[in-house]
Amino acid sequence: MGLNIENLLHAVVLLIAVVLILMAVAISSRDNASRMITDYKIQALLLFLLTIFTALELGDAVIGFLALPPLVMLVLIRALLAQATVVTSGITVWQRLKRAFFESIRPNGQPFGWSWKSRPSPRLAATIYPAKDRTIEEATIRWLRATDNRDSTLSVAFSFLALALAYFFAFSLIKNQPDVANNLAVSLSLVLIGLLIMLRKKDIISQIVGLLVMEHGMFLAAIRVLRIPSLSLLFVISLFLYLGITIVMLVYLLPELDRTSGSLMIEQQKILREEYKPEASLQQLLVPENGWPKGE
């Protein structure tokens, strides 16, 4: 057990796994969507690195492709979530995606760092910034205010409970391979903490972050538990599809939810509950005495 490259890589991977869990716990304790997203970004970056390391370790280039989804989410997450409240009058899904990408690398049209142009060309600007729309920054401010989440101490306690549960479960399941058991435990705890986030947060943005944390757990299980090169292409494809679904959900459904209900709080999304009764006056207005249609 000398200090060679394999052992170093192994230690780094273990460290990354620990930080991944810590970030998940941090997300569950945040009461501010902005910080939650920052934590999520750190997690995505770590997962990206972990995937690269795993690809190096196994010598499998296909697993390296799996590093792309976390990277994409790292770049796009804030802009995608902001799509929820951006007024999207009559622009297509493709335009929304393009806009999300451009605004995430150049917020508010201001160049920073590595952008290759200081301003978008007029034609590009016309397609990605249709008139009268809210910008991403404005939209973000709107839903950042909306968060009102529950007691964070309890969340941390629950998270550690989930962590203990995951470790107990994984190590009692896989006895002879502690390395694999550890990886399984980390991914299970990410899934459980993500579920906890989804259950305890009060707004839809935080719920989505919870779902994305669960997705990280799934990624980790696919990369670190199995280690079968022949299956990796399939996992790449399936996880890419999963990511696509998440993006469809964000880009297509969230703005509609916000437009129709005017809010992103979960309390406002309960009109389908049984207790809900429409006002009596409306009901009376609409039921005629005997004016039903005759025949089929």
Partner 1 sequence: MFELLLVFTILLPLFGAFFSFWFRFGLATAISSSGSLATSIILGISHKIGTPPITMNLSFINVYMDELSLFFILVVNIVALFASFYTLQSRKGTSLREDYSQSKFHLWFNLFHFTMLTVLVMDNLVVLWIAVQLTTVSSALLVRHSGTRSAAEAAWKFLIITTTGVIFAFLGTILLAYAYYATLEDLSKQKPELLDLRWSLLAHPGTINQSNYNILVVSFLLVLIGYGTKAGLAPMHTWLPDGHGEAPAPVSAMLSGVMLKTAFYAILRFFTIAWLNLGEEFILNLLLCSGILSLLIATPLILKQQYKFKRVLAYHSLEHMGIIAFGVGIGSKVAIFGALLHALNHALTKALMFLVYGHIQDSYHEISHTSAGRSAGRSRYEAGNDKHIRGVWKKMPVVGTVLTGGGLALVGAPPFSIFMSEFIILGAAIQKFQDGPPNGPPDLQHWLLVGAIPLYLLTLTLIFGGLVGHISRLLFDSTSAGRSVGREGSEFETSRYDVTSADRLVKVGYARLRFFSFGSLLLLMLISGLTIIRWPLDLPELLNESARIVLEGSQPR
Radius of gyration in angstroms for the set of CA atoms belonging to the chain, rounded to a whole number: 23
- Among residues 1, 3, 5, 286, which is the contact residue for partner 1, using CB under 8 A? 286
Instruction: Tell me whether residue 153 or residue 281 sits nearer to partner 1 (CB atom).
Output: 281
Part in contact with partner 1 (CB under 8 A); list of ranges 9-17, 53-61, 124-132, 276-284: 276-284
Cβ partners under 8 Å of residue 47, min gap 6: 20, 70, 216, 219, 220
Lookup result for tokens 């950042």: 144
Part in contact with partner 1 (CB under 8 A); list of ranges 44-52, 71-79, 145-153, 269-277: 269-277
Residue 24 interacts with partner 1 (CB under 8 A): yes or no: no
What is the Cα–Cα distance from 259 to 256, expressed in whole angstroms?
5
- Among residues 145, 235, 265, 267, which is the contact residue for partner 1, using CB under 8 A? 235
- 203: helix, coil or strand? strand
**Which of 186, 213, 187, 184 is closest to 198 using CA atoms?**
213
- Among residues 60, 103, 203, 215, which is the contact residue for partner 1, using CB under 8 A? 215
Angle between helices 178-200 and 152-173 (to 10 degrees): 150
Residue 265 interacts with partner 1 (CB under 8 A): yes or no: no
What is the Cα–Cα distance from 200 to 25, expressed in whole angstroms?
13
Residue 290 interacts with partner 1 (CB under 8 A): yes or no: yes
Cβ partners under 8 Å of residue 224, min gap 6: 50, 54, 180, 183, 186, 187
Residue 256 interacts with partner 1 (CB under 8 A): yes or no: yes
What is the Cα–Cα distance from 175 to 264, expressed in whole angstroms?
45
Considering only residues 123-182, where is the footprint of partner 1 by CB under 8 A? Answer: 173-174, 180
- Among residues 90, 231, 251, 267, which is the contact residue for partner 1, using CB under 8 A? 231
- Among residues 211, 251, 265, 267, which is the contact residue for partner 1, using CB under 8 A? 211
Instruction: Tell me whether residue 65 or residue 235 sits nearer to partner 1 (CB atom).
Output: 235
What is the Cα–Cα distance from 132 to 147, expressed in whole angstroms?
26
| Residues lying near partner 1 in the complex (CB under 8 A) | 173-174, 180, 187-188, 191, 195, 198, 204, 207, 211, 214-215, 217-218, 221-222, 225-226, 228, 230-231, 233-235, 237-238, 241-242, 245-246, 248-249, 252-253, 256-257, 260-261, 269-272, 274, 276-278, 282-296
